[in-house]
Each structure stands twice: as structure tokens, then as C-alpha cells.
Structure 1
Amino acid sequence: MSNKVRWGVLSTAQIARNNVVPAMQAGAFTEVVAIASRDESRAHAAAAELGIPRAYGSYEAMLADPEIDAIYNPLPNHLHAALTIKALEAGKHVLCEKPIALDAEEARRIEEAQKKSGLLVGEAFMVRFHPQWRRAREIVREGRLGEVRAIQTIFSYFLTDPGNIRNQADIGGGGLYDIGCYAIATARFMFEAEPERVIGILDVDPRLGTDRLSSGLAVFPEGRQLAFTCATQLVPCQRVQILGTQGRIEIQIPFNAPASMEATIVIDDGRDLSGSGREHVTIPPADQYTLQGDAFSQAILGEQPLEWGVGDAVSNMRVIDALFRSAGSGQWERP
């Protein structure tokens, strides 16, 4: 293997074309060599648009290509597990879009296939690679906030198109799968722990059948709490507050930080409510998709360990499962 990992892209999904593939093409350790679609003409069009040398009219044909080392899987949610397992069986490492599966049992089947193959699998929570999240966790670890006890997260957008995969219940649409998973993953990242119990509330769109407004509480060890709301039919908004006994951090664009702009996190010691104790920390521009691709590729090359493997993805899915169960039972549930 050269000093770059050769990647194939499993579908011409919008997130791949617009965000992930261009970012990976700019990486130091990633080379995108192929793209596949069940519609060969779409594969060729995407390849031409993105400057990718090979296009395939089926997923299986690309998986059979011996000159591909790793697969990026941005398929609709209900296809994540099946095609990730097929890719592993074909001898490819896999970076799969979130959520990695529709439930923890599917995720565990991926984990079993990963162990059998000896290859690497990761869930594409790109935000954990952005320097603003790394810096926020450093501040927490340094003790500047005192004892961190609460995280509050809001993530919303407005989308009512029934043709959009995010609004199709039978293929894993809905807000909790699409964006609530970020609130869970980033709280686990900041607390460096797993929640012990959760409770969730879902408002389901009567026409689409997907959860359009979802809120949850997750209780972590020592009584620490995540409170989050995610929505697919509210004004676009993203905010994360990390609150400690002596200060707080606000991450202003936590999940879709523009790659061309500086990011800002605010540290506030709480001396008054007018904000005189605020400090604005500026983070240089960074493309979290490029950083994610390079980190995964370096792990494949053996240059560094994989920080979050499939076991982490299983843990995140367990929390999502518990929130869905709680929304049905009206009770606290354990992941």
C-alpha cells in the first residue's frame, strides 16, 4: 500500500458529492479512485463532476475492484449495515455514515463481521475531528469549568419534502436518526462516559410518519445530564452549551462548521449575566471531513490508532434504541 489509501464511494448521495468526497480529495492520506451507483449513468456523471477516475453501475462491481482499499458508505440509513458487511466481506475497510445501522442489533452484526475480517470500521461523526470540539474537551479536562454536570444541545432544520430520504420512515428517516445521534455522540465524547438511563419524547408527523420533533434526557454516571432537542421542521438552529460548576462553554456552530470560516467557542466564567466574563476562542478554519478521512486513512496505514471503531457505534445505537423504547413506554429506559 502507498502512503495514500484508495477509496471507493458507495453511491452518489448528496452528502458525498457536495461535502465528503471533495474534502477527502484534499486530504494528505486519501485518494478517491471510484464511485458506484445502481444507475450507471449517474455514477459516470458524478465521476466526471468530481474528477474520479472510475465509475461503476453496481455496488457489487466496485466492491470487487482489488485496487480499492476502503469504502465510504453514504447510502440511505436502511442500507448502511448490509452494504458495510458486504464491503468487509470483500476485504475493504469501511467508513459508514451515521447512523451506522437502524438498531444496535444491526450494529452488532457489523461488529461481528469486522472482527471476522480484521478490517477497520468507523461511523462518520466528523464533528469529533473538528478542532473546536477537541479544544472544548481540552478545556473541560483542564478543569476550567469546574465539575461539568450538564450539556444542552439544540439541532434543527426545516424540511417537509416527502421525497427526501430524511422524511421516509421506512428507510430510517426522522430527526433522532439523522441529527439526534449527534447530540448523543458529542455528549459521550465530552463526558467520556456512557449514559446509564434515558427518557425520550417524539412528535411524529402524521403524513410522513417520521419524528419531526424529538427531545431526550440522558443521565450519565455521577448524575451528569444531557438534555437535547432535535427537529426536522423547525427554524434552522445549532447550539451546544457545556455547563460546569465554575464556567460554561458555548459551541456556536457545533455540527456544520463551515470549512472556510474560523470557528468560535465562548468560555464564560459566569461572573454576571451581562457577559463580562466571556472569552471568545477563535479556531482556525478546518474541514472536518478532510480531517476525518485522513484520520481513518492513517489508521488503515498503521500510522495511528482508530479513535472510534465499530464498538463506539454500537454504543451510540444502544442509546438511540433506548430513546425510541422510552418514547413508546413513557418510562426511563437503559441502553
Structure 2
Amino acid sequence: MSKVRWGVLSTAKIGTVKVIPGMQKGQYCEVTGIASRSLESAQAAADQLHIPKAYGSYEALLEDPEIDAVYIPLPNHLHVPWAIKAMQAGKHVLCEKPIGLNVEDARHLADIAYQHPNLKVMEAFMYRHHPQWQKAREIVREGGIGTPVTIQCFFSYYNNNPTDIRNNPDWGGGGIMDIGCYPISLSRFILEGEPEKVIASVTRDEEFKTDVVSSVMIDFGGLMSTFTCGTKIAPYQRVNIFGTEGRVEIQIPFNAPPDKPCIMWHQQGEQILEIELPVADQYTIQGDLMSQAILEDTDVPTPISDAVANMEVIEAVFRSERSGRWESVSHMVTK
């Protein structure tokens, strides 16, 4: 069976703890190499994860003809530059979310991607591929909650580490970029459309200057999605999708465990059905789907235009923070 030979740019924790182990279980993935800014760091990660090759620079990995595709878990401000370098080196790209720091970043990356039609480029919103989200979308599509009305989401963790990149505003840190992007993405995924406007209330940390508690309303033209996210709140996550005749509740919507079943509930009237999803690693599924698209030369599950659209909503949230008013979401024409 053919497999895509993957290289990883960075020894970031999300990669070494979650994504790489997940991809190593895939049918169509082979993690062949990992790069760091020092060979020692790369070699340590390679030894730990049983990866054959270690590189002392990102450039060295991109120059290797035995690497077909790269996964990029670098800090947010480095996503676009290194994704472009990877494409210029002839590599397919799976890049962590958010795709960039702003819409201009995302649009620039999309333009470069369109110039390389033989290469696959995808933003790594792994949650979408998990069976629980596929099931949720199926229930909504088939009228299982009646007409959709609103989505409510909460996503939080506590992090007061001043050296953590998620607390560095210059590198794209803060709650909205790190975890608020998920409620935005899932709302667009479930409602299968783009919002018209948003309004946000944002509290920023006095020391870090990053957003630490944000509450946002997203108007899809009569359908409303609301979420609160925070980086200095007790860890919690939950999603409820409400319709005129029922609702869907997802217990662990984003960090779905790879080693035990997930639980969701489907309520219709007074009847509540508990649905247990089989054990699944969303990172394995993501890696295999991307790899299959590469091997079969088919479309990736989530096109790069989706990453641009998500960033357009994120930018509108920040504009609303500054203005204190509803802000329209600018929908640029995508190819």
C-alpha cells in the first residue's frame, strides 16, 4: 500500500504528543522526518517517536526529495512563511490553525496555493473529521433538530505562563486565535454558510496584552451562534446545537480522546438519545484523509478557501472589540 512520506517542521508539543502519534497509526501516512532549529532537539524527538530522519533546520527537511508533504505546527506567525516555502519546495502542506495572523496572510497563502494546483494545502482543523462531528452534521442536515436556530459553545483553559507562545500577542497568541477559531469554524461547518456580522466583548490580560476572556455573537442572517472562550478560566468545553424541534450536545467537542469512546446526546422533544461514538483518533483520520487526497489527486476535505473565510470572521471579531459595535464580515471572492 502506498503511503505519503511526511516531514514535520518543529518539535512543538501539539505535534509530538498528539498529531505525530496519530498519523503514525494511519493507513496512508508515514512520518519520515522531523526538523528543529537544532539537530539535537530534532534527534531527541525522532528517537522518542521512532522517526527515521532528523534535521537541524527546516530548510534541510524541505530540501529532502524523500519527503512528500509537511505538517507545520510552528507558532502562528510562522505558518504562512513556511507553508509557502514548503510549496515552493514542491511539498504538500498540512498547517496548524489558525492559518495565519490575519486575512491578508490567509489570502496570500491561498494565492500561492492556487499557483501550485498540483499541491494539496489544508488547515488542520482536526475536529471536523471526528465521527462525532460527522454525526452531528448528519443529524442537522436530516432535520433531526428541526430548523436550526442557534449554537452555543464554551471552550477554555488556564495558562498564565509568560514564556508560552500562546501568551505572546506578536506571535498570534490569545484565546480567540488559539481556541475561539474553533467555535467560529464549527458554526460555519454545521450551518453550512457564512455569517453576516459579529459583535464581541473582549477582556485582555494587563501583562500579556492577549485576549483572555471573550464572548462573541455571530449572526448568520437570523441564525445565531454564540461562544465564550478564555485562557484564564478553568478548563472546559461543550457545544449545544439548538433547533425548533431538538438539539445536539457534544460532550468533548474539540479534544476528543483517542483511546475511549465519545458521548453526544440527541434530544427530540422530551426524548434524549445518548449516542456513543466508537474509539477514534481525529489526528489519524485527518492525516489519512489528507494523504488519500495526495495519493489519489482528489480535493482535500477542507479547502484553503475555508481557512480564508474563517480568518475573515476572526478579523471581524477583533474589529468589533475595538469599535464596540456589530461588524460586518467581509467575504472576499475565493477561487
Instruction: For 1:186 and 1:63, locate their aligned partners in 2 and report how far apart those are by CA, in whole Å.
Output: 32
C-alpha deviation, 1:321, in angstroms:
0.5
Match of 1:86 in 2: 85
Match of 2:203 in 1: 203
C-alpha deviation, 1:309, in angstroms:
1.4
RMSD: 0.9
Match of 1:292 among 259, 283, 286: 286
Q: Please give the per-residue CA displacement for 1:189-228, whole angstroms capped at 9, x wherever unaligned.
A: 100001111111210000111100011111113x101100
Structure 1 runs (4+) deviating above 4 angstroms are none
C-alpha deviation, 1:286, in angstroms:
0.3
C-alpha deviation, 1:244, in angstroms:
0.2
Instruction: For 1:283 and 1:258, locate their aligned partners in 2 and report how far apart those are by CA, in whole Å.
Output: 11
One-letter amino acid matched to 2:102: D
Match of 2:247 in 1: 248
Q: Please give the per-residue CA displacement for 1:36-59, whole angstroms capped at 9, x wherever unaligned.
A: 001111001001111111111111
Match of 1:312 among 306, 309, 316: 306
Correspondences of 1:119-268 after superposition (within 5 Å)? 119-221=119-221, 223-268=222-267
Match of 1:114 in 2: 113
Instruction: For 1:113 and 1:51, locate their aligned partners in 2 and report how far apart those are by CA, in whole Å.
Output: 33
Gaps of 5+ in 2: 330-335
Gaps of 5+ in 1: 272-276
Instruction: For 2:287 and 2:200, locate their aligned partners in 1 and report how far apart those are by CA, in whole Å.
Output: 33
Does residue 62 of structure 1 match 2:61? yes
One-letter amino acid matched to 1:111: A
Instruction: For 2:291 and 2:64, locate their aligned partners in 1 and report how far apart those are by CA, in whole Å.
Output: 18
One-letter amino acid matched to 2:154: I
Give the TM-score normalised by the residue count of structure 1.
Answer: 0.96
Paired residues in the alignment total 328
C-alpha deviation, 1:233, in angstroms:
0.5
Instruction: For 2:154 and 2:257, locate their aligned partners in 1 and report how far apart those are by CA, in whole Å.
Output: 18
C-alpha deviation, 1:304, in angstroms:
4.4
C-alpha deviation, 1:269, in angstroms:
2.1
Instruction: For 1:106 and 1:57, locate their aligned partners in 2 and report how far apart those are by CA, in whole Å.
Output: 27
Q: Please give the per-residue CA displacement for 1:151-192, whole angstroms capped at 9, x wherever unaligned.
A: 000000111001111111111110000000000011111000
One-letter amino acid matched to 2:69: A
Instruction: For 2:247 and 2:203, locate their aligned partners in 1 and report how far apart those are by CA, in whole Å.
Output: 30
Match of 2:273 among 275, 279, 299: 279
Instruction: For 1:91 and 1:303, locate their aligned partners in 2 and report how far apart those are by CA, in whole Å.
Output: 15
Instruction: For 1:99 and 1:12, locate their aligned partners in 2 and report how far apart those are by CA, in whole Å.
Output: 18
One-letter amino acid matched to 2:203: D
- Percent identical among aligned pairs is 54
One-letter amino acid matched to 1:174: G
Instruction: For 2:299 and 2:38, locate their aligned partners in 1 and report how far apart those are by CA, in whole Å.
Output: 36
Instruction: For 2:317 and 2:289, locate their aligned partners in 1 and report how far apart those are by CA, in whole Å.
Output: 30
One-letter amino acid matched to 1:46: A
